Structure 1
Amino acid sequence: MMFISIIVILISVRTCIAQAATCKDDGNVDVDWYFVYKPPNVLSSKLLKSGGNPAWAPSGANINQNAGHSVVLTMSRILLVRSAANEAAWFVHTVPNFLAYLSAYSWPQAETPKGHMFLCISFSSALLNSVGKAIRYQEPYVYVNNLPAAILNQ
């Protein structure tokens, strides 16, 4: 069921354009979406991102490096206090407690032997309620969020 949901999301994302991007690729460029795959037993990863004809490419840096990787660049924006009120990102991954405490980026070395996936989707904050309604059926385990109280109380 989860696999089908990811396929539907990727097809939907392929046909839409985000109004305000928050996902960053390895070149620190705003993108509508990206998908990162880190195979087992290595720190290198592959990146599939929006635009033109998406194709898998090696990531710009290893996942344990603090610069030059799409996950690191995206997370650095999320961990900072954001002043923009019109952007949001949905970041889904398979790494247990990854950045659970909104502290500085750090790759958990115990996860290197395992394969992992990261999905980032950018959208306008005006769509937060719609996205929330869509994902509530997936029953995600949310262990951290960075939402203003006004949105949480809606």
Structure 2
Amino acid sequence: MLKFSELLVLFLIVRLSHSQTSKCQNKPGTVAADWAIVYKAPGQNNGKIIFATAAGAWDDGAQALSNNAGHSFAKTLEDVVRNQNNIKFLAYNNAPPGVPSMKTKSN
């Protein structure tokens, strides 16, 4: 069982830490959206985007995905891709890169 001092330290660590969450944005990246999906084929700069307000209607992306302004996914992922020492990001993918048609429990 945790001692009181250990419990207090754990509580303070949890209480004093903070996190940032990405939020989906509309096409120009100015207003929050409930959900959005982007599809970008390999070797292309622009992708196709679909939003909660227009389900089933794929639209061309406003800007190249590498452009950091005027693009909904650039705004959503700005904390993931920018270089800041105080922001950490963790992502997981169970398929190794460069292995086509890998079967996993999730597919």
Q: TM-score, structure 1 length as denominator?
A: 0.36
Which one has more relative contact order, counting CA pairs under 8 Å at least 6 apart? 1
- Give 1 or 2 for the bigger CA radius of gyration: 2
> Which structure has the highest strand share of the two?
1
Query: 1:71, CA displacement in angstroms?
Result: 1.1
In structure 2, distance between residues paired with 1:25 and 1:103: 24
Query: 1:53, CA displacement in angstroms?
Result: 4.1
Query: 1:40, CA displacement in angstroms?
Result: 1.8
Q: TM-score, structure 2 length as denominator?
A: 0.50
> Which structure has the highest helix share of the two?
1
Contact 1:23–1:74 at 8 Å: present in 2 too? yes
In structure 1, distance between residues paired with 2:76 and 2:33: 10
Q: Give aligned-pair identity as a percent.
A: 26
Q: RMSD of the TM alignment (CA)?
A: 2.5
After superposition, where does 1:5-154 map in structure 2 within 5 Å? 22-27=23-28, 28-76=30-78, 79=79, 99=81, 103=83, 144=90
The number of residues matched between the two structures is: 65
Query: 1:26, CA displacement in angstroms?
Result: 2.1
List, as ranges, runs of 4+ consecutive aligned residues in structure 1 with deviation greater than 2 Å: none
Question: Structure 1: 5+ residue runs without aligned partners?
Answer: 1-20, 80-97, 105-142, 146-154
Question: Structure 2: 5+ residue runs without aligned partners?
Answer: 1-21, 92-107
